[in-house]
Amino acid sequence: MLSHSVCKMSSVFRTFANRICEVSFERSLGLDCRLLTIIADDEMKIYTRTGDKGTTSLFSGERIEKSHDRVEAYGNVDELNANLGVLAALLPEELASLTAEIRQIQTTLFQIGSWMATTAGTDSVAALEKISDEQITFLENAIDTMQDQLPELKGFILPGGSRIGAQAHVARTVCRRAERRILKLAAGETLGIAEDQFQQICAFINRLSDYLFATARYISHQLGEPDILWKHPPSL
């Protein structure tokens, strides 16, 4: 059963949380469901008006400016997740196994988002599910499997190939930006990331960008589209 204890949470995840509060699963977000906001009204509302003045609530309860590095970090993770959703939606049925992989990665990104939205050292950290070595190994194994089926890479390639492969490249670049925002947040003096999870999160995001590069090539290869090799521009 879900507890009726109330805590404030980031507006980025509030809509999703409102949808799952009636479902009894304890760890799908990487969060103990006791942390989810339960509103006494019979009908949940999408809007709360609490962020109208430019601030938002963290999972750990504090209110911060929406321009804060922390919001930038989990906002970029959210954008990455959305781009992966587009990629999964575009994949044909014959690549269903790849769709399943991406859905699993999206779930992990929700875990990472929850760490980004929780202040290190607060009681709320104890309710978060840690990023495991197995989740990183999952990406490495998937990369190796795809690489075994791809032609040898003999130079730089241009982002593109098939339309779906190009979307994987877009997700890859958003992943790199999310990584930079996470590093910037961790370097700050306040509201940092829990030390023991920082390396795991960074390793996962770094490996994810490699996964998306391999995925872009793999998709185009499976669809019969060759890599677009970079060529040095002719001298003028």
How large is the average pLDDT for residues 135-163? 91
**Residue ranges in 27-129 assigned as alpha helix (H):** 69-90, 96-116
**Residue ranges in the chain assigned as alpha helix (H):** 11-20, 69-90, 96-116, 133-147, 163-187, 195-222
pLDDT tens digits, one per residue of 40-93: 344 667 778 878 778 887 878 888 878 788 889 999 999 999 999 999 999 999
**Exposure string over 11-33, b if 16+ CB within 10 A, otherwise e:** bbbbeebbeeeeeeeeeebbbbb
Residue 193 has a pLDDT of: 66
pTM above threshold 0.85: no
Mean model confidence pLDDT for the chain: 80
Domains, the chain, ordered by start: 67-222 (1.20.1200.10)
Contact 230, 157 (CB under 8 A): yes
Q: Which residue has the tokens 């730089």?
A: 156
Q: Quick one: tokens of 15?
A: 């809509």
Give the confidence band of 4 by pLDDT, cuts at 50, 70, 90: very low
